[in-house]
A = this chain, B = another copy of it.
């Protein structure tokens, strides 16, 4: 019988899934968390416990927290503002003018906090964010208690936080210096796309990221129009353009990858680039469907992203797993493509690998960070339970997540934030949304 200290948290009972890429759910006895770290997984050792240290997981599945590899979290403030529109109208008449007018430190803090709350409540424990004023996004992640990779946006034209052309580099250095330093926050950069960033920008951004030992994210081959633009400008595919720019290696994260050639896939695989798949955004904007089955078959590492709430419109990674699997089956004409286990892998350890965090998160192993979700399986839409992994991917919803622990700290309990944050914060966010509504001639309901 061991005596344990106050900083220990114990999960008891239920089922546990240690690693979606290799293991099956097991009957669970006891998992120990000490500080921010998992110290024992499914142990049957008896220990002395004091009240409040034990979470009963009966009827639940304990599993690694979900990893959202691509989101523009501030954009939740634009959710539902402009849907069912052609891409160009959506961008040029709504999103760009809205961004020009409203993006600020305050907007990013409010929008990112709303998104972080939504993600926490639906089982995301790590998100990779890409936008402007990203110190504010880091604060949002810290306030809600999530782990995050925070990528400051880079484009070749003036932005709300780098108002002269070329000033993005000063802004990037400033960002790396001013972003809050926490073990749960990884600063990074995000070059928007090969049509908004030139060779020099990509190369300089890649150098800054390598010198900071972090990732460079970029949208790549999202639309057919992008492929045409890059072809007409450089006479190569977007992937070939990036490759010839010398930026593709294992610190590069390529988001979307809808329109790739077989040669593109080989280039990405050989350079060990991480891929992020955002199925619902690609469908909603009619961008097309990446061949995820082919990407996995050539050996690429793939994570899942929700993209921003302006093009999804929610940040529920359970839905994204399901859509990834269903879409792959449809476009491959193969009901075996992207199985439930493969989708769950992408949403956990696959995503952790893409973000370079797989030594810390993505599976439940002693020594790893305690980023854990507890999913309530005793519900009519999840029964009978012949196959928990199938049920998670094909049936479960974000609202089935009962408890969320990040770095050993419980941030969601019984489907509610442990901090009183949401109601206090909500009024501020809705005041801001009211301004957006007024400016765009829309109405805000239920204010």
Q: Could you tell me which A residues sit within 8 Å of B by CB distance?
A: 14-15, 25, 59, 76-77, 79-81, 83-87, 90, 114, 117-118, 121-122, 280, 282-286, 288-289, 309, 312-316, 319, 322-323, 325-327, 329-330, 332-337, 339-340, 377-378, 380-381, 383-388, 390-391, 394-395, 397-400, 422, 426, 429-430, 433, 436-437, 442-446
Contact = CB atoms under 8 A, between A and B. Distances in A.
B446 A329 contact: no
B312 A430 contact: no
Given A312-B394, A335-B86, A446-B377, A329 B386 contact: no
B323 A326 contact: yes
A283 B326 contact: yes
A205 to B, nearest CB: 30
- State the copy count for this chain: 2
Interface centre among A81, A330, A340, A390 (most CB of B within 10 A): A330
Contact of A79 (B114, B395, B430, B436): B395
A384 B314 contact: no
For A86, A323, A384, A442, which residue has the most chain B Cβ atoms within 10 angstroms?
A384
B326 A385 contact: no
A316 B396 CA distance: 10
A186 to B, nearest CB: 24
Nearest to A284: B326
Q: Which of A117, A332, A386 has the most CB of B within 10 A?
A: A386
A383 B429 CA distance: 9
Contact of A83 (B114, B340, B430): B340
A125 to B, nearest CB: 16
A84 B339 CA distance: 6
Contact of A385 (B80, B325, B334): B80
Nearest to A60: B446
A246 to B, nearest CB: 34
A394 B311 CA distance: 9
28 contacts: A15-B446, A76-B383, A77-B384, A79-B384, A80-B394, A80-B395, A83-B340, A85-B335, A85-B336, A90-B335, A114-B383, A122-B381, A280-B322, A283-B327, A284-B326, A285-B335, A286-B330, A286-B334, A288-B333, A289-B330, A314-B394, A314-B395, A316-B381, A323-B323, A380-B422, A384-B430, A387-B442, A397-B399
Contacts of A436: 384, 386
Contacts of A327: 283, 330
Contacts of A283: 326-327, 329-330
Contacts of A395: 79-80, 309, 313-314
B280 A326 contact: yes
Contacts of A335: 84-87, 90, 284-286
Given A83-B394, A335-B86, A335-B286, A384 B313 contact: no
Contacts of A312: 394
8 shortest interchain CB distances as A-B pairs: A384-B433, A283-B326, A313-B394, A84-B339, A399-B399, A80-B387, A118-B380, A385-B445
Given A286-B332, A313-B394, 12 more contacts: A14-B446, A79-B384, A80-B385, A84-B340, A284-B325, A286-B333, A288-B330, A314-B381, A314-B395, A315-B381, A383-B429, A385-B445
A384 B429 contact: yes
Given A323-B326, A329-B283, A114 B445 contact: no
A388 B445 contact: yes
B286 A433 contact: no
A80 B390 contact: yes
Contacts of A90: 335
A443 B386 contact: yes
Contact of A386 (B315, B322, B337, B444): B444
A14 B114 CA distance: 22
Contacts of A81: 386-387
Contacts of A400: 399
A202 to B, nearest CB: 28
Given A339-B84, A340-B84, A444 B79 contact: no
B426 A117 contact: no
Contacts of A80: 384-387, 390-391, 394-395
Contacts of A381: 118, 121-122, 314-316, 398
